[in-house]
Structure 1
Amino acid sequence: ALSRKGWVNTLFGLMQDYIGGSAVMWIQQHVVLHHLFTNDVHMDPDADGFPAIRFHSGPTQPGVDVNAGKKAMSATWLPWHLFQHVYIFALEVGYGLVPIVGSVVELLVWRHRGDAKFRLSPMLLSWGLLSLALHACFFARFIYLPLLWNEDGALVTLGKILLTAAVGGGYLAFFFALSHNFEGAGNFEGAKADGSVEYPKDEQ
């Protein structure tokens, strides 16, 4: 936190929307889902790259089976995953579109990845509307105004916009992949349909 005053932290948090991200969806996807269900194969979105990437093959640690043996979709193997160590770099470069475009869609449908189980709280509605307004400002300054007042031609300017998004998105995705997927990082299951969790106790 930057301040003891909540409104100051909220204001600075929403600046993420002005630079192309989404404070609301970050709270939902990372703070709520990832930190509450860390490495849960059914609930942690950071453990789910399906269908493009397969981050895991299922729970690697003893867990509490609350899904009646149902295999996590994110653990499904598809033929192109054989080459994911090659094409992952291209995906990382294109990741910039996820916060720029994907978060707007998620705000409009009011749920992470469009999934009903990841629905946002109604308490965030006013914040979500402000987030969309700031996103409109971002699109204006990042895309519309540069194309309107460019000196290099529309195609060159568009190329610069895409390059900026690729560098920013690639940077985020590269270090995200490193920090979340490494030898020794286990996966679990234990999230229940009502949002509660039941994980095995650490005996160590």
Structure 2
Amino acid sequence: MSVTTMSQRVVRFKNNLHEEFNKTLNQRVNQYFKNSRYGRYANAEMVTKTIFMFLLYFVPYFMFLLGIVESVWMFYLMAFLMGLGKAGIGLSVMHDANHGAYSKKKWVNKVVGYSLNIVGGNATNWKIQHNVKHHTYTNVTGMDEDIAPKGGILRFDPNTPVKKHHKWQHIYAWFLYGLMTMSWIIVKDIVQLAEYTKDGMLKRQTKSISGAWVWLILTKIFYYSYILALPILFSSMAWYHIVLGFFLMHYVAGFSLAIIFQPAHVMEDHTFENVENTDTVEENWAVHQLKTTCNFAQKNKALSWFVGGLNYQIEHHLFPNICHVHYRKIAKIVRKTAEEYNIPYRSYPTFMSALVSHGKMLYSLGR
């Protein structure tokens, strides 16, 4: 498995290692779906969840847009609920679709995947950063953009330089997490698409570069029009409440997304590969995923439902093309197989224990 970067560099994994583990795991998962009456894709539970998340986002929006909600405090409650809905769409709906895991029909995945654009993001960028770079090269320095925040304000990778301000990151990181989606919609999507255009990644992922830019611009105009312009023009709320509600919505969504994704990979006992002087990761790709990823709160059904099964990050990274509603079942297979082959399978018992470990890792990386 390999990907060419903008410098035309290729980094490979030693997939001749642990071949038997790979073979056995895939056989067992495939056999599970053969024996099960459930397919690999979305089921009724997933469709119900999709409807719920969109309602959680759009019902509060129309309530204040149409003047049903006139109280300022109720308005901010609606903004808070929209933030949860926005996070839910990202975690539970568009995520599966943009992995091709929502439906066996490509057009369904494409349409549902564009729900990210509806809530302000950009599906094209997301597929490159997340599917190609992060999933292929999890925790590999210089390849995984998820551990390389722009500007160096946060340090997620022990193979990168420590700066003076990093010693406080275990405190300020939690505040910055809430700004994540705001950064995406205002700056990151444009900067990122420009980078992917320049380094050739965009050309490899889409038929038309100009089409990708036009789609980015049009969907941004659409988003800002309905989320800011229409409420300012037609709702009973003052413009500054609309702007503050917009910020609150994004802060809730950004914080929710960050505290789910960051504890999955930036942890005390995870591997971070440095390939600066080599073109090879000294491990089988699947085993590398197990060494750089962890689960948490696997018994917490409510959390698992809301976060799209992403507390089962190990199963997601090994089988990203399987809809998350099946992760709970195949997790037993993955854990058993990993234990048989003496390969680490890390899982934190609670969500809080995972957050604590992540906080300790932030502290350590600051030093």
Q: TM-score band, normalised by the shorter chain?
A: 0.7 to 0.9
Match of 1:105 among 178, 190, 198: 190
Q: 5+ residue gaps in structure 2?
A: 1-100, 288-342, 344-367
Q: For structure 1, which segment, 18-27 or 43-52, has the greater mean C-alpha deviation from structure 2 after superposition?
A: 43-52
Match of 1:3 among 91, 103, 107: 103
Superposition TM-score, scaled by structure 2 size:
0.45
Higher radius of gyration, 1 or 2: 2
1:173 corresponding residue in structure 2: 258
1:48 corresponding residue in structure 2: 148
Q: Determine helix, strand or coil for the equivalent of 1:89.
A: helix
CA displacement at 1:172 relative to structure 2: 0.9
In 2, distance between residues paired with 1:120 and 1:84?
A: 33
Output one character per residue of 1:121-173: Cα deviation in whole Å (capped at 9) or x when no partner: 25523355334322321111111111222312111111111111111111111
RMSD: 2.6
Mapping of 1:146-185 within 5 angstroms? 146-185=231-270
* 1:89 maps onto 2:189 in alignment: no
Per the alignment, do residues 201 and 174 of structure 1 end up closer, same or farther by CA in structure 2, a change over 3 Å counting? Answer: closer
Per the alignment, do residues 32 and 108 of structure 1 end up closer, same or farther by CA in structure 2, a change over 3 Å counting? Answer: closer
> Which structure has more RCO (C-alpha within 8 Å, separation ≥ 6)?
1
Q: Does the aligned pair in 1 maintain the 2:181–2:254 contact within 8 Å? A: yes
Q: Determine helix, strand or coil for the equivalent of 1:121.
A: helix
Q: Does the aligned pair in 1 maintain the 2:134–2:146 contact within 8 Å? A: yes
Q: Does the aligned pair in 2 maintain the 1:16–1:22 contact within 8 Å? A: yes
Q: For structure 1, which segment, 121-130 or 49-58, has the greater mean C-alpha deviation from structure 2 after superposition?
A: 121-130
Q: Which amino acid aligns with 2:112?
A: F
Match of 1:57 among 142, 152, 158: 158
* 1:21 maps onto 2:106 in alignment: no
Output one character per residue of 1:68-115: Cα deviation in whole Å (capped at 9) or x when no partner: xxxxxxx11111101001101110121121221234313652528xxx
CA displacement at 1:48 relative to structure 2: 1.2
Superposition TM-score, scaled by structure 1 size:
0.78
* Aligned residue pair count: 182
Give the fraction of aligned pairs with identical amino acids, expressed as a percent.
23
Q: Determine helix, strand or coil for the equivalent of 1:53.
A: coil
Q: 5+ residue gaps in structure 1?
A: 59-74
Q: Determine helix, strand or coil for the equivalent of 2:153.
A: coil
Per the alignment, do residues 187 and 118 of structure 1 end up closer, same or farther by CA in structure 2, a change over 3 Å counting? Answer: farther
Q: Determine helix, strand or coil for the equivalent of 2:166.
A: helix
* 1:35 maps onto 2:135 in alignment: yes
Q: Which amino acid aligns with 2:114?
A: L
Q: Which amino acid aligns with 1:35?
A: H
Mapping of 1:114-125 within 5 angstroms? 116-117=198-199, 119-121=201-203, 123-124=205-206, 125=209
Q: For structure 1, which segment, 94-103 or 29-38, has the greater mean C-alpha deviation from structure 2 after superposition?
A: 94-103
Q: Does the aligned pair in 1 maintain the 2:125–2:189 contact within 8 Å? A: no
